[in-house]
Structures are given as structure tokens and as C-alpha cells.
Amino acid sequence: MIKLTFCLRRQPHLSREEFQAYWRETHAPLVAERAEVLKIRRYVQVHTRGDLDGLHGAFQRRNDDCPEPFDGVAELWFDSLDDMGGDDPARRQAQAELLADERNFIDLANSPMWLSDEHPVVG
């Protein structure tokens, strides 16, 4: 199993609430509709809590004034790297449609993503 982690920052014109509502109510169904063709085994949205901004600030100070928290994290699981690629036209179309929608709410230039293997320690 391989995991794609995408740390999201919202477009500057969106509030956190607007960003999260769009992500949950508009983008999530698009991902769900394309999950089979994209071979996504699991998709989880992790939304940053807006009611804890004071605590987030304390975390930043604790860590030598590190950057502000992300607005959320998307986690996608695939069985293999091969399942993430390929030259299938339907797959390319689904990927293009999701990217086009992501441009509506994600500041892509400031939203890093990477592939990883999980190594559970607790639980």
C-alpha cells in the first residue's frame, strides 16, 4: 500500500470555512465518482479546526515561529505505484478534471504533496 499525502493551503480569496465547505461538498464527490478509474483505495480529508487558532499560534511559537498550519490534509491510498500511473485515457481525463477543480480552491503552488509508506507505531 502506498499513500499520497497532500498538505493544502486555500486560495487567498477564500476563508477557511469557505475552503473546507467547497472541499467537502464539491470536491469530495468528484473524487468519489472517479475513485474506481483512479484506483483510489481510500480517501480521507483532514480539516484544520478553526476554533483552535490560539492553540495553533502556541504551537507555532513552540516550534520557533514555524509557518501557519495547513488548511487541511488529503490522504489517498493506492495498492501500488503502478496503480497511480498508466496511460489510460479515462484515467488521464479523471486526473485532469480533479486538477481543474483543485485550482478553484487550493493554492497549488503552496501545497506540497508526497508519496510515502506508513509505519504504524501506536494503534
Helix (H) or strand (E) holding 83: helix 81-84
User: How confident is the model at residue 16, as a pLDDT?
Assistant: 92
User: Is residue 29 one of the residues assigned to a domain?
Assistant: yes
- How many structural domains does the chain have? 1
User: Is residue 121 one of the residues assigned to a domain?
Assistant: no
User: Is residue 95 one of the residues assigned to a domain?
Assistant: yes
User: Is residue 6 one of the residues assigned to a domain?
Assistant: yes
User: Is residue 111 one of the residues assigned to a domain?
Assistant: yes
User: Is residue 122 one of the residues assigned to a domain?
Assistant: no
User: Is residue 51 one of the residues assigned to a domain?
Assistant: yes
CATH number of the domain enclosing 58: 3.30.70.100
User: How confident is the model at residue 55, as a pLDDT?
Assistant: 57
The whole-number mean pLDDT for each consecutive block of 10 residues of the chain, a chain of 123 residues, reads 95 96 98 97 92 62 68 96 88 96 97 93 92
User: How confident is the model at residue 85, as a pLDDT?
Assistant: 81
User: How confident is the model at residue 51, as a pLDDT?
Assistant: 65
pLDDT digits (tens, 9 = 90+) for 12-29: 999 999 999 999 999 999
User: Is residue 123 one of the residues assigned to a domain?
Assistant: no
Identify the CA nearest to 3 among candidates 29, 61, 42, 32: 42
Identify the domain containing residue 9 by its residue range.
Answer: 2-116
User: How confident is the model at residue 87, as a pLDDT?
Assistant: 85
For 93, the 3-state DSSP assignment is helix
User: How confident is the model at residue 123, as a pLDDT?
Assistant: 85
